[in-house]
A and B are shown apart, each in its own frame.
Chain A
Amino acid sequence: MVKIPRLLLAPVAAALIAWPLCAGKFQDTDPAETQPPPISVSKLRSVSPGEFGDFLSHTFCKQGERNSKSKVYPAQGVNTLGEVIDSAWFKDRHAKRRMTLEELARGPGNSKAPSKDRPWMVTSAKTEGITPGFQIKDSAGRKYILKLDLKQWPEMASAADVIGSKFFHALGYHVPENYIVTFDRAQLALPGNAGGSVNGSAKKRPWREKDIDTILARAYKSGDGQYRALASLYLDGEPLGPFSYHGVRSDDPNDKIPHEHRRELRGLYVIAAWLNHTDCKGGNTLDMVVEEGGVRYVKHHLIDFGATLGSASFETKSARQGHEYLLDAKPSAIQFFTFGFYVPKWARVEYSDLPSVGKIEAEAFEPDQWKGNFPNPAFLNRLPDDIFWATTRVMAFRDEDIRTIVTTGQYSDPKAVEWLVRTLIARRDKIVETFLEAVLPLDNFRVSGNRLEFDDLGKKQRQTPRTLSVQWSQFENGSGRTTALPAAAAFQIPNDLATAANGSYFSARIAEGNSPKAALVYLAKRRGRIEVVGIERKW
C-alpha cells in the first residue's frame, strides 16, 4: 500500500470535515428514512451483564453525558423531521404504518414455537436462584430459554414476557420471539453430555433427571399435570452481552452516538412507564452480531419483559415499584420523618387480586413521576421532544390493539384480560394527557394544495380549538440565515415560496399565543414541488 504522508492528509481531512458543514442544514435526501449501511465488524468483545454494578453505578454515580440547564444535548439518531431513523436499534412500525391486529398478535414471529413432536433436550438449567428455568433445544434444533411460572404466580411472568415482547416489537424495538408453552414432565429430557453446577455449588457435574424435578418442583403445575413457561427463541447471531444506556461500545465502529442521546432510548422512558417496565436496564438488553448482505454488524435488542405490567418476574411487583427507585432519598426521607403516617397514593389505591396480573393500576399512575428500579441515564436525558415522539408511539395503540396484544398472554381468567386492558388504556390516556402538550403537539405536516396542513394531536383533549399564529421566513440553507416574510401570516403557502426556484428553503414558525412552545417547519422547493423537509420543536 502506498503510504501518503500524514501532513498531506491533514488538509484533505479538514476539507472533508468542513464540506458537510458547509453543505447546509438540509441535504437533498432529507428527511432520511434509513441510516447509511453499517460498516462490517470483525472481532468484538463479549460483555458480561454487571447487574449489581449497573444498579450501584447508576444509583450513586452520574453516568454519561447529561442534559443540564447550562448544556442541552438534543437527541441524535433522528432525521430532520425528528423521527428515529430505522437502524440496528429501531425500526418504526405501528406508528408509521398501522399494523393489522394479526400483525400485532404475531409480533416478531409466531411460527417457531418449540416443536413438541419429540422431547426437548435440556442443554442447561438453573437449579438455584429465584427464577427457575432451562435452556432447551427442540427437534428442529432451535434453542430456547425456558422460564417457568412460579407456583404462587401462575401465568403472571410468562404472560408479561409475551405481551411485553409484542408491544415493544410493534413500537419498533428489536426483541426476541417469545412463546407461551405448556408441557408435561416427559417433554423434558437430558442429553448425555448435559452438566453444570448444582445448587449454587462451584463444583460442576453431569445433570440428572432429578435436577429437572428439583427445578420443576418450584413451578406452577395445572391440575392436568401441565407446566406453563415462557419459551424465548435464541436470537440470530453471536451474542455480545448487553448494551449500556450510556456511552458507546469501543469496538463497534457503527456505535457512534452516545446511547443516552438516542431518541429511541430516551423516549423508552414513556413506553416503560406505560407498560410498567421497571426493570428496563442494561442487563435486560442483548447485542448480537448479525450478518445481512455480507455485512456483519451489531444489532441491539431489548430482552426479558418478565418485569413488565404487574409482574416482577419471580413475584408480583411491590406497589412501590414504578413510583420509587429501589434507593430513593426523598421519598425515604418523607417516610422516615413522618413515621409512615404519610401514605402515598400508590399505597391507597385498589389493585387486582388476581395472581396472574400482579400489581399494576392506573389510578395512582403519574406518567411524569414514574420511576424504574434505578436511574437510567437515557431516561434522565429525555427532553420534551423525546417525550412527544414516544407519546405519539403510545397513542398509535387503539383500544382494540391493546386488547389484541393482551390476549396473547393466554390468561385462563378473562378477568385478568379485562383488568389489564382497562389499565393499559387508562395509562395510555394519562400519558397522552400528561405528555402530549410537552411541546406544541402538531404533527404530520404536509402541503396540500396551496396550504400548509397538519394534525393537532391534542385536539381530542381540548375543549376549544387552538388559536395558532404563523410566521413565514425565507431560509438560507448554507448559512442558516432567515429573512422574515411579513406579509405571509396565514397557513396559505406564501407567493415567495410558491414561485421560488428549486433548491429554495422556507420556514414557518407556528406558535400558540405567547407560549414559548412552537413548531418550526422547514419546507423546500424540489423538482417543482414543495416538500416538508424538517421540523424543530421549541419549548
Chain B
Amino acid sequence: MDRLSRVPFTLLFTAALLGQTSIGDAVEASRRSRAPKFDFDEAPYIERGAARIAEPGIIAPVTKGLHGFRLKMGSMVLTSGFALGPEFLTGSPRFERILFRTSARFSAPGYQLYDAEFALPSLAGDRLFFNALAAHRNYPRLPYFGPGPDSSANNRTSYRLENTSLDLTAGVRPFRHMRLGATSGVEMVNVGRGRDSRFRSTEQLFGPRSAPGVDHQSDFLTAGGFLEYDYTESEGTPRRGGNYSLRFTNYVDQTLGTGSFRRVDVDLRQYLPFFQKQRMIALRAYSVLTDTSSRKAVPFYLQPSLGGPEAMRGFHAFRFYDNNLLLLTAEYRWKVSSGVELAFFGDGGKVFPRRRDFNLRNLEGSYGAGVRFNIRREVFLRLDFGCSHEGCNLWLRFHDFF
C-alpha cells in the first residue's frame, strides 16, 4: 500500500476509537480527503444528460411505443418535406406473428398519408408470406415537367394526386434466397389542381395528349407477379452479394379503359466489397418498361420517373417522366470510421417513349458525393450532393436506397 493511502485509514480508525465521530463520518472524511474530485456518482453533465435521454421512460414511448402507439416519421413521397404522425402497432400477445399497423402522417406542405397494413410475414415455417396494404394519399403539389427526355426544367408545374389503394401480396420462399409471389389490387386515382403557388398547375400547361390522364379520374385493377433472388447479407444495409428482382404488373383501367397498360420492373443490384468490407463498389441497373394497346396511354402519374435522391441525384425530383426508364448507378463507398461512410457516385439514365429506345444512347448523367451514417450496419441518415448540367441538389434521407 502506498504511503499516502495509509493516512485516511489511520485517521479513520483513530477517530472511531476516540469516539469523537461515527465510523461513517470518519470514512466519509477520509474518502473526501483522499479523492475529493472523483465521485463516481457525480457523472459529468454529458453523461447524465445522455442517460436521462436514454431512459426507458422517455425514449421508449417515442421509438418503441406506448400501449401500441408511437410517432412515425418520414417515409412519404419525395417533395413532401418532413412527415410526422401517430402510428399504432399491434402488440397482441396471442398473435405476434401477425402484424398489424396503421398510421397517419402529415407534412407542412399539406401532404397526407393514411395507411393500414396487415401482414403474415412468416407462415408455414417461413415458407409463405402474405401482406395487405390499404392507403389513402393526398399529395397536393407533386412536380411535373412534361413528358419525355426533352422536357424543359423551366416547365415545372404541380398537380395534386389523390390515391386510394389496396394492394395484396402473397408469396412463397421456395429456396433460401428466393421469393416469388403474386400481387393484386385496386387503385382509385384523382388528379387535381396543384397547390404549389410558385408554379402553374399541370393541366394549365399540359393537355391530355402530353400528360395522359390529367383530365379525368381513373380506377385501376392491378394484377401481377414477382420473382426475387437476394443473396445479400440478411441484416442491415447490404455489403456483399446481389439482389435481382423482376416484377410484372397489369393495370386495367376500370373507368374509361384508355389507361390500361402492362409494366415490367427489372432491378439488379450488386455489391462488391474489398479490403475487409471497408471499401465497396455498388452497382445498380434498373429499368421500367411499359406496354399499351393501341389508342391507350400510360397515365402520366403512373409513368416511371427519373430525378431525385434515388434516381439521378443531379436532377430535381420527378424531373423526367415517360413510358419507359433506364437507370444505371455506380457508387464507390469507403468507410472513414465505424459509423460513417463516404461515397462518390455516378448516375446515368434516361426516360424514353418507346421500348425500342432501350439502349445506352443519349443518357443523362449526374455525379456527386455523399456521406452515410450508420448504426449497427444500418444506414439511418444519408446526405448526397448530386450535380448535373441542370445544377446541383443536396438530398437528406433517413435510409439508404441500395
Contacts and interface: CB of A to CB of B under 8 A. Distances in A.
Contact of B96 (A32, A199, A200, A249): A199
Nearest to B50: A53
Interface string B170-200: 0000000000000000000000000000000
Interface string B36-67: 01111111101111110010100011001111
Contacts of A419: none
A12 B18 contact: yes
Interface in A48-83: 48, 50, 52-54, 56-57, 60-61, 63-65, 74, 76-79
Interface residues of B, number: 68
Interface string B1-19: 1110111111110110011
A335 B31 CA distance: 46
Main secondary structure of the interface of A (DSSP, over half): loop
B18 A9 contact: yes
Contacts of B344: 339
A244 interface: yes
Given A250-B39, A256-B8, A2 B19 contact: yes
B93 interface: yes
Contacts of B294: none
B51 A39 contact: no
A25 B47 contact: no
Interface stretch (B260-268, B272-280, B311-319, B358-366): B272-280
Interface residues of A, number: 86
B20 interface: yes
A203 B67 contact: yes
B37 A65 contact: yes
Contacts of A54: 47
A85 B5 CA distance: 13
Contact of A61 (B10, B41, B46): B46
Interface string B326-356: 0000001011111110101000000000000
B91 A198 contact: yes
A53 B279 CA distance: 30
A11 interface: no
A248 B38 contact: yes
Contacts of A327: 337, 339
Interface in A333-387: 335-336, 339-340, 343, 346-348, 351, 359
Contact of B43 (A50, A199, A206): A50
B73 interface: no
A253 interface: yes
B389 interface: no
Given A4-B19, A203-B67, A247-B40, A332 B340 contact: yes
Contacts of A64: 38
What 4 pairs between A and B have smallest CB-CB spacing? A340-B334, A247-B38, A253-B27, A53-B47
5 contacts: A53-B46, A198-B91, A199-B96, A253-B24, A336-B336
Interface of B: 1-3, 5-12, 14-15, 18-20, 23-24, 27-28, 30-31, 34-35, 37-44, 46-51, 54, 56, 60-61, 64-68, 91, 93, 96, 234, 275-279, 332, 334-340, 342, 344, 376-377
Given A39-B27, A199-B96, 12 more contacts: A13-B11, A48-B51, A130-B376, A200-B60, A201-B68, A202-B56, A205-B93, A248-B39, A250-B42, A335-B334, A335-B336, A343-B275
